[in-house]
Structure 1
Amino acid sequence: MNLWQKRLLEKLLPERFPILRWLMTLVLVLSLTSCEQKVSSQEVSTDYRDNPLQISQISKQFSEVSPPSVIQELRTTLEVYQPQVTIVTPQADEVLQDNKVTASFQVKDLPIFKDPQLQLGPHLHVILDNQPYIPVYDLNQPLVLSDLSPGTHTLRVFASRPWHESFKNEGAYAQTTFHVFTKTDDNNPDPKLPLLTYSRPQSSYGAEPILLDFYLTNAPLHLIGKETANEEFSDWRIRSTINGESFIFDRWQAVYLKGFRPGKNWVKLEFLDNQGNSVKNAFNTTVRLIDYQPKGKDTLSRIVRGELTADEVRPIVDPNYRRLTPSVEKKVEKQPSLETEIPKESKTEPTKPEQPKLEVPTAVPSPTLSPTPPEIITPTPEPQPEVTPTPESTPLPEKIAPQPTKPGLGGFFNRRAGKITSPQTPVAPSPSLPSTLPEIIESPAPEIISPTPEPQPEVTPAPESTPLLEKGELK
């Protein structure tokens, strides 16, 4: 209990009320004990769900807004983790005889990975001295730091969420100081003083709001009546200056800002004491240059703009999550493609039944079949106009030469031919029919067929047997 608190009790409660004095003392002790318990935990609540549309104008150009809704929803998935980070190599105060250093890390109670499609995931921010951090997504691949200058160097590491917000629980941060060839006074922060580690913003951005985040060590929270050796730092501040505009933060949590101009922007963070003065420790003042180009196409920019839902990007916080909705969409997309392919198949199917036309042998009308069915000549007048070309019938009389063995059939055939050719323009051959018939009957041998070239137009029905075969009327 402080001296001023004891004097206050003596004035308010004289010695004649010892019971009341004892009760008041007990209440003060319990309140201070509860405050000390709160100090041991450095995690500051950043739950914006009670006021998701909070907007605060912090300067002429910049305003503080709530985190994007998707990030707020995904953050709850990671609240169950309390990552514990350890630097395996290099070891503390180690003197290395090479300017090439291999750094390796261990992390407990947090999966470290990167989703191959979204290119985001829980990772480590590795900071050498006060350079921009290096993201580490694979603990199995050591980080090689090459071309280090001789002297002392400090390596700071802390766990980060996929959208680059640092975990602020106890154990999420690790630090080691090592030396290359020899020790120097550079890059060697005082462990007794508060230390500010700059995290974001860094590099390039494609959407607003932009995250401003940092990590604090040896910096107690703002509590009244806390008795500590470094009481002068109990009321610290963080001064942020962006493009010349300054504003003060008195809490340790992630901040989302709007008001950046397209192109180059510079950001400066400083650790201040309770008097508003800069605390002179290594790395407590840091300046970064960022590039803001609106309408970025990367995953984080699309999350910030609200173009992606929490379910679509949940694999960045859960490595075992399987995208169900995209697979359903793919099935729906495939269905119309099948429908478009069906008409194509229907177009090919009719071609298959057309193939039987090829099965009808065009060469089937052999000369052996032509003399046998004289009775089928009667239906020939219907397709005859289609077979008008007479030159094709010229070779047929040579093949029909065996017919003179049956003179009766030959005469009947010639008469039918005369009737068929009568409607045609060349009517002149009709009077020559009676002269030709006795010549064909009297000939005992097939050699007399030589005069047949005169009735060539009469034999036109012969090629008509071919369409009859195609129609399947001949057996």
Structure 2
Amino acid sequence: MKSWQPGMLNQIFYRRFTIIKWLMTLVLVLTLASCGEKAGSQEVAVNQRNNPPKISQISQQFSEVSPPDVIQELRLTLENYRPQVKILSPQADEVIQDNTVTVSFQVKDIPIFKDPELELGPHLHLILDNQPYIAVYDVNKPLVLPDVSPGTHTLRVFASRPWHESFKNEGAYAQTTFHIFTKTEDNNPDPTMPVLTYSRPQGSYGAEPILLDFYLTNAPLRLVAEDNPNDTVSDWRIRCTINNESFILDRWQPIYLKGFKPGKNWVKLEFLDNQGNPVKNAFNTTARLINYQPKGKDTLSRIVRGELKADQARSIVDPNYTAKKPVTTPIPSVEKTPSPQPEIIPDIEVLETPVKPTPQVEANETSKSEGFFKRRSEPSPSLPPTLPEIIEPPASEIQPEIIPIPQVEVPEKLAKPETSKSSDSPAPEAQPEETPTEESIPLPIKIAPDPEKPSLKRYFNPQQLPNFKLSPSVPPVVPETTPVPEQQERAGEYKVTTMEE
């Protein structure tokens, strides 16, 4: 049996540790080698950031915010595309003997179209020299550029999403330099130096946030460039200046900004080297003027504000998509029949029961302070005086009336009313009392007994008056009074006096 010595064990552990160390070193080298691509073929997705801030203040006026929700959702539909763009004409370093240039393209792995309703879709950004880009939505037809000035010119083109964000994968960008009649030194970038291509913002905007996007060519990644001490752009930066406010971008990613003032705003992009100085190459410094008018009605403004949902705008990323329309059950048409008009019944005149004329009663008020009333009537030698028929009016038309209250026999002294002292007429001369004859004395009238004998105060309250009706066939019973002979002033007349309680 073989025995293990301590020295042999140490050698075995050392060898294993060495192998593990070499394996770790190999993994690290492979990781660095995978990052050895240039920035021109780098595709950085917005959702790959490590905890991106929702709002990041990058200057005194401007702040970076997350992309609109609808754009983030629609972006997922285009994640699987890797556009491949080529310029077929004009050829590189071609001299054209005409100032009209015909440009043709070849595009693969991305559909180029425009939705006819929303007027957006995947397209190409074509830039002649350093002019504002031209959006190309149809690559099957050549694009004609008229009146191109003589000299050297450069075309740059790259694939773009419907909301004008560029694809940054390898092969999505193409560039060519040609000449009109002759060569010049202008518009001819150095192919060995980094090139900054300005893309957005451009034109007019109707909503915030506004996209800031650019394209980089020949700009190496920092991890690879740091190994080369002769590389002066290893720590490159992009300086952005908007309305005299500057901030630095150290990543190649699209950003969305808020803080633009309504009206005209100018934007400037610069490519900087390790020392913060602009890199001298064509197109590396570009300025644009944009117009921001809030509450725009264009499709992009509505998407940014969230007025169009992802399902409503999905046709701008998928040419075969049809927006779902709500299913509505058709309502059967029903013939309208004229509705019967209600019959108009003529007004029927209600015949009122004729009311017997009532004799007018004259009430002479002797004194308001004493409250006496006098009633005159023609005496009848055979029948007692009768009252008119009482017809009860409606409850809403009842008005309080003052009804003279009959009084039973009144003493002679209290029954004599006092004459007014203020009367200017001379007092009548006293006449000798005449002896009453049988013809002048009226027949005695019997007084109906009152079983309850209500007080006078009760009858002066209109709300407590008894509500009664008399039959038209039976004459009402009227209390009879006994005339006082001393108060008779004329033959055939008598006065009934009452005393206030």
TM-score, normalised to structure 2, is 0.61
Letter of the 1:282 partner, please give it.
A
Q: Which structure is higher in helix share?
A: 1
Partner residue of 1:346? 336
The one-letter amino acid paired with 1:316 is I
Report the AA paired with residue 34 of structure 1. T
Quote the residue 2:28 is aligned against: 31
Shift of 1:184: 0.7
Equivalent position amino acid for 1:113 in 2: F
**Aligned equivalents of 2:300, 2:48: Cα separation in 1:** 19
Match of 1:302 in 2: 302
Task: Provide the residue aligned with 2:47 in structure 1.
Answer: 47
Task: Compute the displacement of 1:53 (Å).
Answer: 6.3
Shift of 1:45: 2.5
Paired letter, 2:285: T
**Which secondary structure does the structure 1 equivalent of 2:291 belong to?**
strand
Task: Note the 1:4-19 alignment, pairs <5 A.
Answer: none
1:233 to partner: Cα distance: 1.5
Contact 2:44-2:252 within 8 A present in 1 as well: yes
State the partner residue of 2:420. none
Tell me, in whole angstroms, the C-alpha distance in 2 between the residues paired with 1:52 and 1:163: 21
Give the alignment of 1:239-250 within 5 angstroms.
239-250=239-250
Cα distance, 1:348 vs. partner? 7.3
Structure 2 distance, partners of 1:230, 1:347, is 94
The alignment status of 1:320 with 2:317, answered yes or no, reads no
Residues 1:273 and 1:191: Cα distance change in structure 2 (over 3 Å): same
TM superposition shift of 1:23:
5.7
Normalising to structure 1: TM-score of the pair? 0.65
Deviation at 1:232, TM superposition (A): 2.0
Structure of greater Rg? 2
Does the residue aligned with 1:280 lie in a helix, a strand or coil? coil
CA distance in structure 2 between the partners assigned to 1:249 and 1:90 by the alignment: 34
Deviation at 1:33, TM superposition (A): 2.8
Map 1:170-209 to 2 at 5 A: 170-209=170-209
* AA at the equivalent of 1:171: G
Could you give the per-residue CA deviations for residues 386-443 of structure 1, whole angstroms, max 9, x where no partner exists? xxxxxxxxxxxxxxxxxxxxxxxxxxxxxxxxxxxxxxxxxxxxxxxxxxxxxxxxxx
**CA pair 182-18 structure 1, distance change in 2 beyond 3 A:** farther
The one-letter amino acid paired with 1:111 is P
Using the aligned pairs only, state the percent identity.
70
Any conservation in 2 of the 1:194–1:218 contact (CA below 8 Å)?
yes
Query: Per-residue CA shift, 1:361-380, capped at 9, x if unaligned?
Result: xxxxxxxxxxxxxxxxxxxx
Structure 1 letter corresponding to 2:322: R
1:286 alignment partner AA = T
Instruction: Give matches, 1:69-80, under 5 Å.
Output: 69-80=69-80
Distance 2:29 2:260 in 1: 43
Mapped to 1, the partners of 2:292 and 2:182 lie a distance apart of: 41
| TM-superposed deviation, 1:36 | 2.5
Distance 1:258 1:119 in 2: 25
Shift of 1:39: 3.5
CA distance in 2, matches of 1:104, 1:294: 37
Give secondary structure in 2 for the equivalent of 1:110: coil
Corresponding pairs, count: 324
Give distance in 1, aligned partners of 2:296 and 2:100: 36
Contact 1:65 1:209 in 2 (8 A): yes
| Alignment CA distance shift 1:280-1:180 (3 Å) | same
Q: Does residue 283 of the first structure (1) align with residue 273 of the second (2)?
A: no
Distance 1:224 1:54 in 2: 31
Instruction: Quote the Cα distance in structure 1 between the aligned partners of 2:229 and 2:170.
Output: 21
Contact 1:32/1:225, CA 8 A, preserved across alignment? no
Partners of 1:152 and 1:179 within 8 A in 2: yes
How far did 1:24 drift? Answer: 4.7
SS of the equivalent of 1:232 reads coil
Compared CA separation, residues 286 and 102, structure 1 to 2 (3 A): same
Q: Distance in 2 between matches of 1:50 and 1:117?
A: 37
Question: Secondary structure in 2 aligned to 1:223?
Answer: helix
Question: CA offset at residue 246 of structure 1?
Answer: 0.4
Contact 1:48 1:72 survives alignment (8 Å):
no
Partner in structure 1 of residue 159 of structure 2: 159
Give the match's secondary structure for 1:117. coil
Cα RMSD for the two superposed structures: 2.3
The verdict on how the C-alpha distance between 1:169 and 1:112 changes in structure 2, with shifts beyond 3 A counting, is same
- 2: CA distance between counterparts of 1:91 and 1:47? 38
- 1:158 maps to amino acid: F
Change beyond 3 A, Cα 1:52–1:283: closer
Conserved 8 A contact 2:35-2:223: no
- Pick closer, same or farther for the CA change 1:49–1:287 going to 2, 3 Å: closer
Q: Displacement of 1:20 after TM fit?
A: 6.3
Residues 282 and 229 (structure 1), Cα distance of their counterparts in 2 relative to 1, 3 Å cut: farther
CA contact (8 A) 1:48 1:66 kept: no
**Counterparts of 2:229 and 2:161 in 1: how far apart (Å)?**
34
Distance apart, 1:298 and its partner CA: 0.5
**Structure 2 vs 1, CA of residues 229 and 314 (structure 1 numbering), >3 Å: closer, same or farther?**
farther
The answer to whether the aligner puts 1:85 opposite 2:85 as a matched pair is yes
- What are the residue-to-residue correspondences of 1:92-241 with 2, within 5 Å? 92-223=92-223, 226-228=226-228, 231-241=231-241
Cα distance in 2, alignment partners of residues 185 and 27 from structure 1: 51
